[in-house]
Chains A and B, each alone.
Chain A
Amino acid sequence: MNPIIALSELRFRWRAQGPETLRIDALEVAAGERLFVEGPSGSGKSTLLGLLAGVNQPQQGRIQVLGERLDQLSPTARDRFRADHIGYLFQLFNLIPYLGILDNVTLPARFSRHRRARALARSPSLVAEAKRLLTHLDLDLDLDQRALARQAVSELSIGQQQRVAAARALFGSPALLIADEPTSSLDADRRRAFLELLFAECAETGSTLIFVSHDASLEGLFDRTLRLPELNQATDRGGPAARLRAAPVAQAQAAQAPADQAPAAQATAAQAQAPRASAALTATQPLDRQPPAP
């Protein structure tokens, strides 16, 4: 079975003449995996997510998502691909202020017929699917449809807003869910509860989760951790290219899980597979630390 994400020889810089922001020789993510991406600010997390989402385009290298070569698609085709297959969760202010809760949740269906069709396959209507997701995400709202449609998202608490955002990201069962520090504004208890809800929903739809955070305490909840400063050899952005190339490739030994659950264990990528139906802490291999560049 093919990995859902396969990167190789990836090079990205924001400006043509600027320093390299991202340099990843190889990375693979298995379908259904829950991947924790860790790294401090400036380690290229957002850049990596932008590349995976098809918003940015690398200068070099392959990005394969769901078997599609994103690096070879036109910008419009990448936007379409994202609309169809990727759910995206931001850190904060995830919702469009002028749309009601239901309109926010069903937004992906406005941009993708596929997600619309998948939502309608699960529920009789878009609104019903939105309500189903909201209920699943334990959103304690009066689910009277009219009130829900009208209620301004700004009236919700931060935690509620993040759950509405999660419902939007999961709407129409995207194969890949990318979350960019969505829990950083929640307190520890709520953080864990939110993650468990997210895991459960991902498990139900079979979505792969890529979760970025600098909060290492969450790491244990995921199948595998990816330490971006080690994987990204361009962390010293702006430093001499020769030194960057000389740095060792970050590699982690994969703790092999049963083959049926770890379909894409590749030698080049750090892999740690665990049963993904559980939201409980699973075995995560610490990666070999790369000595920080001087």
Chain B
Amino acid sequence: MAILRLALYSLLNRRFTALLTLFSIALSVALLLGVERIRGEARTSFANTLSGTDLIVGARTGPVPLMLYSVFRIGNATNNISWQSYQEIAAMPRVAWTVPLSLGDSHRGFPVLGTSRAYFDHYRYGRDKPLRLAKGARFADLYDAVLGAEVAAQLGYRLGDAIILAHGASDVSFARHDDKPFRVVGILERTGTPVDRSVHVSLEAIEAIHLGWEGGAPMRGREIDAERAGRMDLTPKAITAALIGLDSRIATFAVQRAINEYPQEPLLAVIPGVALSQLWSLIGLAENALLVISACVLLVGLIGMLTSLLIGLEGRRRELAILRSVGARPAQLFGLITGEALLLTLLGILLGGLILTALFRLGQPLLEAQLGLHLGLGTPQPREWLLLSALLATGFLVGLIPGWRAYRMSLSNGLSLRL
């Protein structure tokens, strides 16, 4: 107890260098924890995006790209599925439900998703949570749109507002579907998934706004006004992908094989969980590199602490001899020096945690808006506790070096001071 108090006083006495050391440790702790937290949250957020869907079907590419563009709206599809194939898949035995997804248009940077009303029934996120409307209703009319929470919040839309969709991802005047404005009829509750950043319209609406756009741009003289389009046959010819639910999980592999070997068209069916784990193994490499870098930064911080403790030790020979003379055991002097390292590490961890919390609190809206990433500010996860314990242990181990030197010094020098 006496030794711990002495360690504290001694640190206070050298508060400038101690504070610098503390800050370097705190910042590296914040970095390490931040990387770990974002990594964990990104995984959770990815894993939480889709649930209850047994298979994702699209044109033949790789499992990861298919999942990325169909569910996470990252990247673009290279090919579509024909409407006929989709119909046949929907009619397969064991297929309980299907949700068509048609992507490619955008509204002021937000992706537009053409789908059916079944989307609102079957799309699940998190732990089997269904989508819920915060305001309004699902689309009923042809030119109705349902907005994700983020779209409405960022663009300040309310029910009844008119919006113009743009062809493709860019929003330039010649690529706007401005002859067919949409009306906001519903706004979804926040989900923390890409749904928040999507504009949902019906498949038929997607078909309607592209009438006369068969060449990729409106053909002069062949414009079809909104009302006339509504009276035409708006059965889609192709969709981007489809979500499929089965009546039994056991059938998953059989249906997957049937789709993958579908003779009329090259298709790909992936199990979301499998595609996710493939994604992790891909991202894991970068994640680990990032983690290793932050661990190195932390190591640098700890080596800084070691340096300052070792340098400080030279100036503390007197102090150690005095403590020896009043009866301090070499082990207690060892404890004094090691205790300082431990105290610095512990305070560094606490301060680092505070810095991280402050940063997250400040950066949260930005991250959520830009990446759709929701960062939890709750208590550390088991992995983080593990990381922190390892960190504390490392700080202790680093402190053993000057502690051991102090121990040796007090044994060899005794009460004589060779300065």
Listed in ascending order, the chain A residues whose CB lies under 8 Å from chain B are 46-47, 49-50, 53, 55-56, 75-76, 79-80, 82-84, 86, 88, 90, 93-99, 103, 107-108, 110-112, 168, 180
Contact = CB atoms under 8 A, between A and B. Distances in A.
B416 A108 contact: no
B414 A79 contact: no
B89 to A, nearest CB: 77
A57 to B, nearest CB: 10
Contacts of A76: 329, 331
A199 B324 CA distance: 24
A93 B93 CA distance: 92
B216 interface: no
Nearest to A97: B13
A79 B325 contact: no
Contact of A112 (B318, B322, B327, B416): B327
Given A90-B325, A111-B328, A96 B415 contact: no
Given A53-B325, A79-B330, 15 more contacts: A46-B414, A56-B414, A75-B330, A79-B328, A80-B327, A88-B325, A90-B318, A90-B415, A96-B6, A97-B319, A98-B10, A98-B14, A99-B6, A110-B2, A111-B2
B221 to A, nearest CB: 90
B328, B330, B331, B414, most chain A CB atoms within 10 A: B414
B285 interface: no
A49 B327 contact: no
Nearest to B9: A98
B131 interface: no
A168 B415 contact: no
The size class of the interface chain B forms with chain A is 20 to 34
5 contacts: A88-B325, A108-B327, A111-B2, A111-B326, A111-B328
B417 interface: yes
Contacts of B234: none
A79 B327 contact: yes
A103 to B, nearest CB: 8
Contacts of A49: 415
B322 A94 contact: yes
Nearest to A54: B327
B340 to A, nearest CB: 12
B367 interface: no
Contacts of B325: 53, 82, 88, 90
Interface in B1-38: 2, 6, 9-10, 12-14
A108 B415 contact: no
Given A56-B414, A93-B318, A97-B319, A168 B9 contact: no
Given A96-B319, A98-B13, A99-B9, A108 B326 contact: yes
A162 to B, nearest CB: 13
Q: Which 8 A-B pairs have the closest CB atoms?
A: A83-B327, A98-B13, A88-B325, A110-B2, A46-B416, A111-B327, A55-B414, A50-B414
A94 B417 CA distance: 11
B6, B12, B326, B416, most chain A CB atoms within 10 A: B326
A55 B324 contact: yes
A111 B330 CA distance: 13
B161 to A, nearest CB: 67
B13 A90 contact: no
Contacts of B6: 96, 99
A55 B412 CA distance: 10
B13 to A, nearest CB: 3
A180 B322 contact: no
B306 interface: no
Contact of B322 (A56, A83, A95, A103): A95
A106 B331 CA distance: 21
B323 interface: yes
Contacts of B268: none
Contacts of A96: 6, 319, 322-323
Contacts of B415: 46, 49-50, 53, 55, 88, 90, 180
A68 B392 CA distance: 43
Interface string B284-327: 00000000000000000000000000000000001101111111
Nearest to A55: B414
A90 B322 contact: yes
B12 A79 contact: no
Contacts of A110: 2, 326
A46 B414 CA distance: 9
Nearest to B11: A98
Interface in B325-369: 325-331
Contacts of A88: 325-326, 415
B322 A79 contact: no
A69 to B, nearest CB: 18
Contacts of B322: 90, 94-96, 107
A47, A88, A96, most chain B CB atoms within 10 A: A96
A120 B322 CA distance: 23
B317 to A, nearest CB: 10
B10 A82 contact: no
Contact of B417 (A75, A82, A90, A99): A90
Interface in B49-74: none
A107 B326 contact: yes
A75 B12 contact: no
Contacts of A53: 325, 415
A242 to B, nearest CB: 28
A107 B2 CA distance: 9
Contacts of A95: 322
B332 to A, nearest CB: 8
Nearest to A56: B414
Contacts of A56: 414
Contacts of B318: 90, 93
B330 to A, nearest CB: 7
Given A56-B414, A90-B322, A111-B2, A84 B327 contact: yes
B324 to A, nearest CB: 6
Nearest to B12: A98
Contacts of A107: 322, 326
Contacts of A112: 326-327
B419 to A, nearest CB: 9
B414 A83 contact: no
